[in-house]
Each structure stands twice: as C-alpha cells, then as structure tokens.
Amino acid sequence: MKSENKFSRPWGTYEILLEHDKYKVKRITVYPNCRLSLQYHNHRSEVWTVVEGQGIVTRGESKIKCSKGDFVDLPVKFNHRIENPTEKDLVFIEVQNGEYLGEDDIVRIEDDYNRVQ
C-alpha cells in the first residue's frame, strides 16, 4: 500500500500526517506479533504516543510496556524499538524533531527483515 503519504513496511504501515522543516508527525501501525528494527537516529529525536493497542518499547537498555495514552521520549542517538506482542494492531503517533528528518537517518542495529546496515 502506498499513497502520497502512506507507506507499507514488513512490520506494518506509516502515514505522514504533517511535515515541516524541523518536525514531522506520523501515524504508525505495527501488525500483530511484529516489531520495528532496533535503531537510532543521528539527527532527530522522537516522541511516541500510543493511541491503540499495547506494545513493548526498547529504550536503551530498558524495556517499557505501553498501552493507550502512554508516551515514550527517544533522544537523538538513543537505541530504540517498538514491538507488538499481541493479536491486535498497535497504533502510535510519532513526532520527530530535528534539523534533518529524512528516512535515511535510520541506523539499524538489529532487524527481523534483513535490513541491517
């Protein structure tokens, strides 16, 4: 699935809701029993707010259970990942802040889909 602002990934989908020079807002859906790569960003920080479902966020060395209404702050160069261990979609809003917000600012450390750099 790809429209002008909606993109498919092996783990789910994301939709760009708002884009500006220094910030970007996405709606991200993680399919049941899927997870994003363990990654960090050199140029942006992120805040994730769960709006539907339940998940587990890896934030540095910590694992944090999260559900609707919870949020997690992810500083620049901080290892992170979100996973959905349930049978329902996990949906969260991601707000990116930084001088550079390109999709190529993802440094993958570990990836279930063989996209490790």
**Residue 2, pLDDT score:** 52
Whether 116 is covered by a domain: the verdict is no
pLDDT at 4: 82
Helix (H) or strand (E) holding 39: strand 38-40
Which residue range is the domain that position 106 belongs to?
6-110
Mean pLDDT in residue range 32-48: 97
Could you tell me the two tokens for 95? 């707000």
Q: Is residue 56 part of a domain?
A: yes
Q: Is residue 115 part of a domain?
A: no
Statement: residue 116 has pLDDT above 80: no
Q: Do 26 and 94 meet the contact criterion of CB atoms below 8 Å apart?
A: yes
Residues facing 6 on adjacent strands: 15
- Domain count for the chain, please give it: 1
CATH number, domain with residue 24:
2.60.120.10
pLDDT confidence of residue 115: 81
Residues 26-33: what's their mean pLDDT?
Answer: 98
Place of tokens 């699935």: 1
Specify if 70 maps to a domain.
yes
**Per-residue pLDDT for 54 more than 80?**
yes
pLDDT of residue 117: 60
**Per-residue burial over 20-41, b = 16 or more CB atoms within 10 Å of its CB, e = otherwise:** eeeebebbbbbeeebbbbbbbb
pTM here is 0.93
Q: Is 1 within the bounds of a domain? A: no
